[in-house]
């Protein structure tokens, strides 16, 4: 996986709950064309936890077919127990991808010992490399760097996605980190800072609707033009904040539709944007030259 931006893909759904496949494939093609280093299908932005069990493998297969090996593809398998995660893994066993991504269980708070056991047993049972997803706002428990490093030394544990810059720095530069264990930082507000620290792979769902800005930002970072890169990041953050003001997934769906990608990009309980909310998102994207 090369340096740069890793996009957590959105997942477009038709009114009957099925995948809007043409929209999804076009979304993936545009991400690859923009230079994404890798793609994550069905992460948080991709609504993995909200999709029907019957739709889940369809999304995974569509992603793998659309990517066609052009960039690494990771697939989310997050669920509440080892058994349920392994059901997800089994559902995509015949799909070509470069790894699976899972958070710790998120219904009840877990201990570091339980996190270690959870991921170790999934890695042992999976035929696909496992990437750890540290997401304490959802799981209620942050992964300690020591826990991550202990897991990194286990067979078939391939990397970490975390929004905690301290954790990423400790793991990235630890002498105990295996050389092939990849760290992906997901703290959008400080991607420029992470780059200066030497953390060169950043993953976020906002790249789904800002691929050109992301491409430009990482070109500027690679060229050492930090101030110009920061301007690109500020634009992505401004759009993110606009989403937050109306509801993240509501705003995201409006943005993706404006960009020409059909379907709903939200969990099924999210109400559609009002005309006023949609106008606000459109005006923000135009002001930021993202539309």
Across the chain, mean pLDDT equals: 97
Q: How high is the pLDDT of residue 87? A: 97
User: What would the pLDDT profile of 216-266 be if each residue is shown by its tens digit?
Assistant: 999 999 999 999 999 999 999 999 999 999 999 999 999 999 999 999 999
Under the banding of pLDDT at 50, 70 and 90, the label for residue 156 is very high
Q: Reduce the DSSP state of residue 243 to 3 states and report it.
A: helix
- CB contact burial 163-181 (16+ within 10 A = b; e otherwise): bbbebbbbbbebeebeeeb
Q: How far is CA 63 from the centre of its chain?
A: 14
d(CA 125, CA 41): 21
> In Å, what is the CA distance from 255 to each residue of 104, 180, 207, 212, 279?
30, 36, 12, 14, 10
Q: Residue 207 has what pLDDT?
A: 98
pTM: 0.96
All structural domains of the chain, each given as residue ranges with its CATH number in brackets, are 4-223 (3.20.20.70)
pLDDT tens for 21-64 read: 999 999 999 999 999 999 999 999 999 999 999 999 999 999 99
The interaxial angle of helices 145-152 and 165-172, nearest 10 deg, is 40
């Amino acid at each position: 996986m090369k340096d740069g931006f890793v996009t957590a893909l959105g997942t477009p759904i038709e009114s009957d709950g099925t995948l809007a496949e043409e929209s999804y494939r076009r979304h993936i093609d545009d991400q690859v064309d923009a230079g994404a280093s890798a793609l994550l299908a069905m992460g948080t932005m991709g609504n993995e936890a909200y999709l029907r069990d019957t739709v889940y493998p369809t999304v995974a297969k569509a992603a793998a077919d659309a990517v066609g090996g052009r960039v690494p593809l990771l697939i989310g398998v997050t669920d509440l127990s080892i058994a349920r995660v392994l059901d997800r893994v089994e559902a995509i066993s015949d799909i070509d991808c470069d790894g699976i991504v899972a958070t710790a269980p998120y219904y009840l708070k877990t201990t570091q010992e339980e996190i270690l056991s959870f991921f170790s047993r999934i890695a042992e049972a999976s035929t696909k490399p496992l990437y750890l997803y540290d997401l304490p706002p959802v799981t209620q428990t942050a992964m300690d760097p020591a826990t991550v490093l202990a897991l990194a030394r286990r067979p078939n544990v391939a990397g970490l996605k975390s929004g905690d810059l301290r954790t990423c720095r400790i793991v990235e530069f630890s002498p105990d980190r295996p050389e092939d264990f990849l760290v992906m930082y997901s703290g959008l507000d400080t991607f420029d800072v992470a780059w200066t620290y030497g953390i060169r792979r950043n993953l976020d769902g906002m790249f789904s609707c800002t691929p050109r800005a992301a491409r430009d930002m990482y070109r500027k970072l690679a060229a050492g033009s930090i101030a110009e890169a920061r301007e690109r990041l500020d634009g992505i953050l401004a759009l993110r904040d606009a989403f937050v003001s109306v509801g993240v997934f509501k705003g995201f769906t409006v943005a993706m539709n404006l960009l020409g990608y059909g379907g709903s990009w939200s969990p099924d309980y999210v109400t559609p944007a009002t005309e006023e909310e949609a106008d606000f998102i459109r005006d923000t994207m135009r002001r930021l030259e993202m539309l």
